Amino acid sequence: MLYEVFRDAGVPRGAVNFVTGPGGNFEDEFVSNPDVAGLAFTGSREVGMRLYRRFLSSQPYPKPMVLEMGSKNPLVVVEFAASGHNDALALAATVGATLLIIGPRRVLSTMLLAAGVLAKAFPAVLVPLWLARLKWPRRGWPAALAAGGLAAICAWPYRSAVPVVLATFHQYQTSFRDNNASVYLVLQRISGSNQLAMGLGVGLVAGLALWAAARRLDPARAAFLLFGTILLVSPNGYPWYFTWVVPFLALVGVSRYLVPWLMLTILQFLSYEVLIGYQTSGAWHFRPLFLLLTYAPFYAWLLWNAFTAPPPWSSLGKRIPASAVPSVRADSAAP
C-alpha cells in the first residue's frame, strides 16, 4: 500500500523499490554494493544488529546507517521534550558507546561512555565491563587514556566546586529517599534501616557489574540488566529514570521481559499523582495505592515469567554466535 502511494504521487520509477523476502538474502547486496551509500532500516532487532555489525566492517570505510527497531515510548517524549532532564545526554552517549564497542572504534566508544558518566552517574556501572572488553591493563591504554583525558578536561574548570558537589551528593543521599521506590521500600520496611536497604542495593548492583565484566557480556544486555536493577533497588524511582532502559529494550530483544518493562515505563505516569497534592497543599507524598498500581503488575508479570521460563540472566550471559541467529524477514529496508 505504501509503495502504491509513492507510485500514485508521481515518484520516479526506481527511486522507491518494494522488495520482499528474507532479510539475509539482501544483506550482502546492501553491504557490498558500492552504489549503496547508506541504509535506513526498520525491522527486527536480529536483522538490524546483524546489518549494523556488517556495515561497521564494510570497506573502504563504514557506511552510515539508521536503525529503527521498535521501543516507541511516551515517557521519553514527556520527560525529555517537555521536562528537559539531562538524562537524555547521558543516555545518548551510553547508547553510542554501546553500539561502537562491538566494532573497531573502541577509543571513541570509551570516550562516549566517559561523556555519559560526566553527564549522569548511572553509566559508571558499565566501566568494569568496558575495561574487561578492552583487556585493560594489558591492552586498551589508548582508549582508557582518551577517556580519562576527556574527563579531566571537562572537570578541570569546575575543580574548585568539588567540595560543593560532594556536599550536595551527601545531602541528596541523606534527604532524598522513598520517592516512588519499590524494592528499596520493601527492604527498608523489613530491616527498619535506610542504610541497610541502600547497602543491599549497592552491593547487588556492584556484584552484577563485576559479574558482567567477568563474563564479558554483550554491552547492550549488560546495560539493560544493570540499569534495570538500579531502577528497582534505588531509593528514588523518579519517572524520567525509567527512560534509561527504553533504548536497550530495542537492542536486547529479551522477548519475555520486554513487555513487562515497557508496561512499567508507561505505568510510571501514575507517579505524577504526587504533583496533585504538592501543588494544592505542598505535601510531597507517594500514596501506597498508586505505588501498588504502578509496580504490582510489573512484579506479578516477572514472577510469572520466573516460574514459567528460565531466569533472564540465563540468556543474558550467553554469547550467541551469528550462525545461530535465524533468518528473519525485515519489515522494510531502503538504501
Cell of 86: 539531562
Residue 114 has pLDDT above 60, yes or no: yes
Instruction: Determine which of 23-32, 88-97, 174-183, 268-277 has the lowest per-residue pLDDT on average.
Output: 23-32
* DSSP 8-state code for residue 11: P
Question: Is the pLDDT at 209 greater than 60, yes or no?
Answer: yes
Higher pLDDT, 112 or 177: 112
Mean pLDDT of 280-293: 87
| Residue 9: strand, helix, or coil | coil
pLDDT of res. 322: 45
Q: Which of 164-178, 287-301, 307-321 has the highest mean pLDDT?
A: 287-301
Mean pLDDT of 152-172: 88
- The reported pLDDT for the residue numbered 24 is 64
The three cell numbers of residue 200 are 543491599
Whole-number Å distance between alpha carbons of 156 and 118:
12
223-226: long-range pairs with CB below 8 Å, 24+: 223/94, 223/98, 223/123, 223/126, 223/248, 224/248, 224/249, 224/251, 224/252, 224/254, 224/316, 225/312, 225/313, 225/316, 226/125, 226/126
Which sequence spans correspond to the domains of the chain? 2-69, 74-154+177-317
pLDDT (tens digit per residue) in 224-257: 999 999 999 999 988 889 988 988 887 876 567 8
Provide the pLDDT for residue 126.
96
How much is the mean pLDDT over the chain? 81
Distance, in Å, from the CA atom of 278 to the CA atom of 272, rounded to the nearest integer, reads: 10
User: Which range among 11-25, 103-117, 125-139 shows the weakest confidence by mean pLDDT?
Assistant: 11-25
pLDDT at position 330 over 60? no
Position 76 scores a pLDDT of: 60
What is the mean predicted confidence (pLDDT) over 25-46?
Answer: 73
pLDDT (average), residues 281-310: 87
